[in-house]
Amino acid sequence: MKIVLASRLDKDEAVAYAASLASFLEETGHEIAFESGTAEHLGREGVPFEEFSADLVVVVGGDGSVLLAVHRMRRQIPLLGINWGEVGFLTSLEPEEVPAFVSDHLQHFTVEPRMRISLSADGRWLGNALNEAVIITSRPAKMLRFAVAINGVHTDRFRADGLLISTPTGSTAYAMSAGGPIVDPRIEGVLLVPLAPYMLSSRPHVISSDRSLQVRLEGAKPAHLVIDGQATFELERDTVIDVVKAKEPALLVNAGKHFFERVDHKLRCL
């Protein structure tokens, strides 16, 4: 099996672990390559994210490292996350669980597709989000005004500090902190979660992914749209954001852990 290894680069221990994991995987008969940034830290030749061609990508890091890999891969490849972060909702294994997984499951691993959302602004494609896109003001302490249309029908208008447009996978991320529900990632839908809304009647929504969703930024206040913490775009007055289900899901390796048991365990560790 051809495996590409990528590590978070801000922790030397994570990079060192990736190097030792590479040796372990090579000893078990796998062909190993390193992502170029990780390879540079190790003094080796590497492969850029955009050029990955492998059976499996292994990421040593937290949720941010997984999101970076998903964003930069041109074609989605099954991804196994090994947690070297704070919580790691997107990672499948803790480091101490890796030897048993490699021995018992690696040759016949299964994949859990995770829906992503595709975002366009006034017809210009911006990117895909695995967790969420957030619209926030560029000026602290200033509220934004939003209008929402579903299947072309106006459904809501509200003022808030910002708006989260989240996937079910992202429901355990920023959306959860903002008061949104935890959603089973097997459900294909879009969450709208207002950030500190002016009216208490402005509540989170869960919208089926087979509906068309438009969010209009009303008013003249400057704002930014941030996708998965990886890309930031300036929004103009009356910008219309179109949200649809992305054509290609992320492919996360299933380590055999029940989603809600993992959520309960992770939340107790916060």
Tell me, rounded to whole angstroms, the distance of Cα 177 from its chain centroid.
Answer: 15
Q: Which residue has the tokens 């390193």?
A: 34
Evaluate whether 240 touches 122 at the Cβ level (below 8 Å): yes
Active site residues: 63
Tokens of 259: 């989603």
Q: Which residue has the tokens 């050029």?
A: 51
CB atoms within 10 A of CB 94: 12
Tell me, rounded to whole angstroms, the distance of Cα 262 from its chain centroid.
Answer: 17
Helix and strand tally (H, E) in the chain? 6, 18
Q: Find all residues with CB under 8 Å of 249, minimum gap 6, and list them.
A: 76, 113, 114, 115, 116
Q: Express the helix, strand and coil content of the chain in percent, nearest 5 each.
A: 25, 40, 35
Type of residue numbered 52? F
Tokens of 19: 């190097």
Evaluate whether 4 touches 58 at the Cβ level (below 8 Å): yes
List phi, psi (to 5°) of 269.
Answer: -90, -10
Q: Find all residues with CB under 8 Å of 59, minimum gap 6, and list them.
A: 6, 7, 65, 66, 69, 79, 80, 81, 82, 91
